[in-house]
Amino acid sequence: MTATAGAAAVTALGEDTDRLLAAEPEVRADAPDSVHQMRVATRRLRSVLRSYGTLFEAEPAAALGAELKWLAGVLGEARDAEVRAERFAALVQAHSSHGTVRRDALGTRLVRAERDRYAAAHAAVLDALDGERYAALHAELARWRSGPPLLPNRSQLPAPQVFAGVLRADRKRLTKKAGRLDTVSGAERIELLHDIRKSAKRLRYSCEAATETIGDAAAAAGDRAKKVQSVLGDHRDAVESRDAILERARQAEAEGGSRRIYAELAKAEKKAAKKALSRYPEALAKLKEHGHVRVPAAAFAKAGAAASNGNRPAAADVS
């Protein structure tokens, strides 16, 4: 177990860096799900960097975060097109009932368009990976491993003490946003659900980064946050898919075609969004019910030698 907060955070960032670099050759080969894996690793790095940002010098941390955001955006264009192509293909197969010719035409308009977008976006990803900006990011991640810009005082605190505070802050951020949901409606509510999802993802990643330090309690809390993230992710995917289908419907109508089949698919996605959202209250309730992460005294005992005062702190709750 890593004793100090700074060393523990750098270890977590190093693990996510390994995930990113391991995915790179797969992305270059256009292996299935590779863009997704690299994007997740990039987002994990950025999320952990934000959650544990008080351990690092502000300027280099902000600069690294900005470059990770750029890379996630490049990867996101390809990943979003990939997801839509798969989703549209499944929808067409399940809901088209107007004969082979109509199904083929619809598949061409919906699925092939997204696959073409994916091909163009993947080419842009390869250009980015071959570019100077990514090379600089790669080098910067290596520098963070060999000589991270840690703040000398805070980074030397016992890891359980600092990590417990991070989990508490990330959980509070999530529950505060969730508490606002009944006060908004329409498009504002959909965007708030998306923000809640992002907060759940941040809590999940900070919990996973803290698992080595705090133990099973952090892992379990991360699993509960992941459930909230997942159900709201399913909701978001269905909402965005419906919007894209309706846009294709408008294009078809403008070209003299029928929007009936598109309306059928949009209705299916609306139903899928509603179904996903119906699972959200239970997922959130479980996260709240088991929201306290007990940091065992043993965790402090292992880190006690690194504490600045040389004393072993009492066990703490993340609430």
pLDDT tens, residue by residue, 270-281: 999 999 999 999
d(CA 241, CA 34): 22
Which residue type is seen at 182?
Answer: D
Percent of the chain at pLDDT > 90 equals: 72
3-class SS shares of the chain: helix, strand, coil, % to 5: 80, 5, 15
pLDDT at 85 (0 to 100): 92
DSSP 8-state class, residue 153: T
Are the C-beta atoms of 40 and 18 separated by less than 8 Å?
Answer: no
User: For position 312, what pLDDT does the model report?
Assistant: 36
Please report which confidence band the pLDDT of residue 261 belongs to, taking 50, 70 and 90 as the band edges. Answer: confident
- pLDDT 10s digits, 172-229: 999 999 999 999 999 999 999 999 999 999 999 999 999 999 999 899 999 999 999 9
Structure tokens at 31: 């292996």
**Gyration radius of the chain over CA positions:** 22
Rounded to whole angstroms, how far apart are CA atoms 282 and 288? 10
Residues 157 and 303: their CA atoms lie apart, in Å, by 9
Please tell me the pTM assigned to this model: 0.86
For the residues 241-254, what does the mean pLDDT come to? 87
| Three-state secondary structure readout of 37-83 | HHHHHHHHHHHHHHHCHHHECHHHHHHHHHHHHHHHHHHHHHHHHHH
Q: Where exactly are the structural domains of the chain?
A: 1-146, 157-306
Residue 228, SS3 per DSSP: helix
pLDDT of residue 103: 60
Task: With a cut of 90, say whether residue 2 has pLDDT above it.
Answer: no
